């Protein structure tokens, strides 16, 4: 059980045999201290409160306060060194997950269950990034939409944009074949992209990455028919220049009923199922605020990582990211892919608890 000391409205100490949590000016510090420091804290605090209560010997009150502050400063320095040492421990295992094509990580020591996202019930007066309360293995807890919390676009918006993009690219290829047919009929040059890597779909396709296995599997099926469609361009125009327009039309018609039809079927499949193919995952976290789940796109793996000892937040190239939630950067051991470590104790801030919505679930500042 923690011993709680209220010094004033700006400074609260939560003390237990292994850990102290200090809240000052809405900034949280995890302070790791040894038993010797705990004993000093107890005596200094006891002297401070006893003398303040009796309102006697002001000099002794000041001495007790100085002892307390010195102990506090020492423990903060001790904490920072301990935390840096802990973060650089090469044996630490991290739960690595995806958010909008970027890898993030949380320390596995702070995680509980990992499961597909259960249905969430809305929590009144909660912040917008709180999706609702979920039931994980019989325990109710708030679920945090981590995309929303760190400033990335919501999954629903990304799916909506993806569907619109697919419909536009489908129409592009219908228009491509129609324009090729017009070029044969009117005996004019064909000016659209003949290289499958240079049309709008090709440029997007070559650069697009997704953490969703099912979406990736469908997208791979576009490669062959897409290249075949663009592959008829030079052949059709060559026949047209030689006056063999009937043969050119036959090739276009065949392409329209085979390769284009195959692509249209794939576009329909991916736009129809993209919402249901979501692999959103809930990771239960144990933090200084209490227990809650974070919702991520999907979990990649649990493994050790190469942690960078220095973090240049200005070097992070993720648009709209709230960089105050990033504790460190690193890379995966087996591949040079960047990972950003989440500061889980900073997910909630003091103002997020207004309205008392978190109290029924054991969340506190």
DSSP 121: B
Residue 72 vs residues 59, 75, 190, 287: alpha-carbon distances, Å: 20, 5, 76, 22
Do the Cβ atoms of 34 and 18 come closer than 8 Å? no
Query: How far is it, in rounded angstroms, from Cα 116 to Cα 277?
Result: 12
Q: What is the pLDDT of residue 318?
A: 74
DSSP of 279-342: --EEEEEEETTEEEEEEESEEEEEE-EEE-S---GGG---TT--GGGEEEEEEESSS--EEEEE
Per-residue pLDDT of the chain (365 residues; tens, 9 = 90+): 333 333 333 333 433 333 333 333 333 333 333 344 444 544 555 555 555 545 545 566 566 566 656 655 554 444 444 444 444 566 788 999 999 888 999 999 999 889 888 889 999 999 999 999 999 988 999 999 999 999 998 888 888 999 999 999 999 999 999 999 999 999 999 999 999 999 999 999 999 888 777 888 999 999 999 999 999 999 999 999 999 999 999 999 999 999 999 999 999 999 988 877 777 899 999 999 899 999 999 898 898 888 775 566 666 777 778 888 988 888 887 777 889 999 999 999 888 888 889 888 888 77
CATH of region 94-154+279-361? 2.40.50.180
Query: How far is it, in rounded angstroms, from Cα 117 to Cα 284?
Result: 11
Query: How far is it, in rounded angstroms, from Cα 288 to Cα 112?
Result: 14
3-state secondary structure of 72: helix
pTM score, two decimals? Answer: 0.65
Task: Name the H helices within the chain.
Answer: 35-54, 58-87, 146-150, 155-185, 200-207, 213-220, 223-231, 233-241, 245-257, 259-273
CATH of region 156-273? 1.20.120.30
Q: Where are the domains of the chain?
A: 3-87, 94-154+279-361, 156-273
Question: Residue 190 has which token pair?
Answer: 């064909």
Query: How far is it, in rounded angstroms, from Cα 340 to Cα 327?
Result: 8
Query: How far is it, in rounded angstroms, from Cα 119 to Cα 48?
Result: 50
Residues 6+ apart with CB under 8 A from 247: 239
Q: What is the pLDDT of residue 19?
A: 37
């Amino acid at each position: 059980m923690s011993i709680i000391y209220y010094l004033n409205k700006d400074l609260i100490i939560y003390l237990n045999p292994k850990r102290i949590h200090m809240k000052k000016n809405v900034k949280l510090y995890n302070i790791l201290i040894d038993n010797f420091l705990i004993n000093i804290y107890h005596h200094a605090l006891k002297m401070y409160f006893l003398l303040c209560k009796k309102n006697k010997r002001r000099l002794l009150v000041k001495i007790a306060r100085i002892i307390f502050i010195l102990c506090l400063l020492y423990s903060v320095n001790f904490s920072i060194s301990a935390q840096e040492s802990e973060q650089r421990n090469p044996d630490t295992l991290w739960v690595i997950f995806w958010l909008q094509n970027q890898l993030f990580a949380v320390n596995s020591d702070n995680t509980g269950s990992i499961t597909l996202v259960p249905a969430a019930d809305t929590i009144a007066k909660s912040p917008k990034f709180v999706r609702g309360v979920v039931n994980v293995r019989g325990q109710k807890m708030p679920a945090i939409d981590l995309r929303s919390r760190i400033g990335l676009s919501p999954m629903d918006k990304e799916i909506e944009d993806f569907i619109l993009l697919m419909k536009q690219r489908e129409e592009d290829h219908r228009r491509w074949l129609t324009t090729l047919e017009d070029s044969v009929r009117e005996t004019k040059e064909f000016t659209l992209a003949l290289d499958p890597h240079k049309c709008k779909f090709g440029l997007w396709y070559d650069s697009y990455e997704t953490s969703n296995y099912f979406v990736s599997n469908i997208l791979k099926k576009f490669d062959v028919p897409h290249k075949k469609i663009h592959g008829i361009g030079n052949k059709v125009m060559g026949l047209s220049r030689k006056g063999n327009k009937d043969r050119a039309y036959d090739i276009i018609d065949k392409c329209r009923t085979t390769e284009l039809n195959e692509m249209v079927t794939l576009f329909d499949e991916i736009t129809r199922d993209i919402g249901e193919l979501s692999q959103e995952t809930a990771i239960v976290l144990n933090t200084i605020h209490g227990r809650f789940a974070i919702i991520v796109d999907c979990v990649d793996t649990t493994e050790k990582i190469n942690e960078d000892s220095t973090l240049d937040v200005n070097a992070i190239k993720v648009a709209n990211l709230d960089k105050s939630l990033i504790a460190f950067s690193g890379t995966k051991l087996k591949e040079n892919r960047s990972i950003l470590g989440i500061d889980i104790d900073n997910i909630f801030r003091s103002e997020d608890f207004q309205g008392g919505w978190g109290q029924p679930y054991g969340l506190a500042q």
